[in-house]
């Protein structure tokens, strides 16, 4: 098992795949978080009734398998003749997927800020924007950050599904090598190790922050 036909070039190929995984994750999480914060604030501001259509729409992204979403997104972009590359399609779908989860996190975090604190801010003469910026944002970030880190890692793991659209990310790269070298266990182990090394330290950081920042502890 330990003598392998894998060369340094092949390893580089895997690392390039990992780079693609990180690129897709980075773009999607950045765009998804931005949308998630906006949607989250909107949902809190206009109340559950008026936000119902938005809630329903975002719920779809959480209740339909990501693989199906990717296939649908890809089919849609070809029907609408948008001419998107697989990378763009993957990022758009993954961003919406991230936004759906991020909205829940942001909503929960804003709800966790005691209303009395916010009313106190308003009665001191702060505007809504000031209240949001100086009172809600710092308090809500502490609540949201651990879950947000978890979400980021989840998106990184789920980004392996974009291989279905033909994007050569880490898992797809290892699959290509498996087909060529016929050493599935060894190559997949390396692939798993790379995922683990990317994910584990950040997961630990999230766990630490959660412990460190949880109130009443």
Residues contributing to the site for another protein (CB under 8 A): 1, 60, 63-69, 71-72, 74-76, 79-81, 153, 157-158, 160-161, 163-164, 171, 175, 178, 183-186, 188-189, 191-192, 195-196, 199-200, 203
CA 98 vs. chain centroid, Å, equals 4
Write down the least CB distance from residue 73 to another protein, Å: 10
Is the dihedral angle over the CA atoms 139, 102, 84, 53 positive or is it negative? Answer: negative
Give the nearer residue to another protein in terms of CB position, either 8 or 79: 79
- The answer to whether 21 and 192 have CB atoms below 8 angstroms apart is no
Write down the least CB distance from residue 13 to another protein, Å: 17
Give the nearer residue to another protein in terms of CB position, either 2 or 125: 2
SS3 annotation, 169-207:
CHHHHHHHHHHHHCCHHHHHHHHHHHHHHHHHHHHHHHH
Write down the least CB distance from residue 196 to another protein, Å: 5
- The answer to whether 213 and 145 have CB atoms below 8 angstroms apart is yes
Give the nearer residue to another protein in terms of CB position, either 64 or 85: 64
Question: How many C-beta atoms lie closer than 10 Å to residue 169's C-beta?
Answer: 24
Give the nearer residue to another protein in terms of CB position, either 99 or 153: 153
Give the nearer residue to another protein in terms of CB position, either 133 or 211: 211
Write down the least CB distance from residue 178 to another protein, Å: 6
DSSP state of 162: G
Write down the least CB distance from residue 198 to another protein, Å: 8
Q: Please work out, in degrees rounded to the nearest 5, the angle formed at the alpha carbon of residue 85 by the alpha carbons of 192 and 70.
A: 60
């Amino acid at each position: 098992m330990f003598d392998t036909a894998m060369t340094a070039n092949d390893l580089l190929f895997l690392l390039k795949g990992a780079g693609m995984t990180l690129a897709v994750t980075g773009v999607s999480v950045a765009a998804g978080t931005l949308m998630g914060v906006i949607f989250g604030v909107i949902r809190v501001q206009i109340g559950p009734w008026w936000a119902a259509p938005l809630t329903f729409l975002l719920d779809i992204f959480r209740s339909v398998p990501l693989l199906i979403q990717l296939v649908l997104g890809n089919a849609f972009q070809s029907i609408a003749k948008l001419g998107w590359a697989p990378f763009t399609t993957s990022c758009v779908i993954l961003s919406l997927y991230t936004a759906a989860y991020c909205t829940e996190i942001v909503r929960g975090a804003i709800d966790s800020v005691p209303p009395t604190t916010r009313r106190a801010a308003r009665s001191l003469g702060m505007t809504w924007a000031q209240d949001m910026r100086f009172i809600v944002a710092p308090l809500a970030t502490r609540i949201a950050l651990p879950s947000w880190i978890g979400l980021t890692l989840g998106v990184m793991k789920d980004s392996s599904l974009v291989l279905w659209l033909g994007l050569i990310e880490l898992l797809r790269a290892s699959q290509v090598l498996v087909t060529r070298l016929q050493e599935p266990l060894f190559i997949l182990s390396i692939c798993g190790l790379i995922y683990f090394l990317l994910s584990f330290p950040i997961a630990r950081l999230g766990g630490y922050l959660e412990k460190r920042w949880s109130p009443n502890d």
